[in-house]
Amino acid sequence: MDEQIGSRDPHEEPRPPAQPLRPVPPGSNPAASPRKKGPGPKTPQGKARVSRNAMRFGIHSPAPLIPGERPEDRQAHDAGVLASVECPTYIDTLLTERVASAAWSLKRVARYEETEFTRVNNGSPVFLLPPGTELDKIVKYEAHLSRQFYQALHELEARQKQRRGEATPLARLDVHGVSEP
């Protein structure tokens, strides 16, 4: 007779529950987290300093500007991208903002890549590549931001074509170097 895997035999004697993998000291709550809080910053100055940890490259920064970027450059960038949209609706404006943000972050990645190559080759008579971990970061961030940029751009283009009464594709295959007919 076939038995299902994991089902118990109804005629089998009950077994005691399995022992925990690690001993649990008496009086402790096994459901509570075994880790204690890390030291972390306690002063307002320390907390302010670690709040900028995501700005190491600027890619993960929630701030629209990181140190070294000028507000007027970002405003001109955003205005230029927004000016390229015809008859913007609210959704078009949101998509345009996503395009502008991804494009600005792609510029950050390009600056970071340039800085890394300059740092590694400073004073070297032969051309050197940055360490593999740095190159992996650059490629990963650039690919992620490019996908975000093109996804928002293609959605924006499709909405504009639809508004003009042109046919919009139901599916789109993005291949770099191949243009749409």
pTM: 0.61
Q: Does residue 56 sit within a domain? A: no
CB 149 within 8 A of CB 103: yes
Residue 75's pLDDT is: 92
Question: Measured in whole angstroms, how far is the alpha carbon of residue 15 from the centre of its chain?
Answer: 49
Q: Does residue 108 sit within a domain? A: yes
Domain tally, the chain: 1
Q: Does residue 128 sit within a domain? A: yes
Take residue 152 and report the two structure tokens written for it: 């928002």
Residue 42's pLDDT is: 84
Alpha-carbon distance of 62 to 81, in angstroms, equals 20
Q: Does residue 32 sit within a domain? A: no
- pLDDT per residue rounded down to tens, the chain (181 residues): 455 555 566 666 666 666 656 665 666 665 555 556 667 788 888 887 777 666 555 566 666 777 778 889 999 999 999 998 887 889 999 999 999 999 998 998 888 888 888 888 887 778 888 788 888 888 888 999 999 999 999 999 998 888 888 887 766 665 555 555 5
Alpha-carbon distance of 105 to 140, in angstroms, equals 13
Q: Does residue 169 sit within a domain? A: no
Domain that holds residue 112: 65-164
Q: Does residue 145 sit within a domain? A: yes
Q: Does residue 102 sit within a domain? A: yes
Question: Measured in whole angstroms, how far is the alpha carbon of residue 159 from the centre of its chain?
Answer: 25
Q: Does residue 59 sit within a domain? A: no
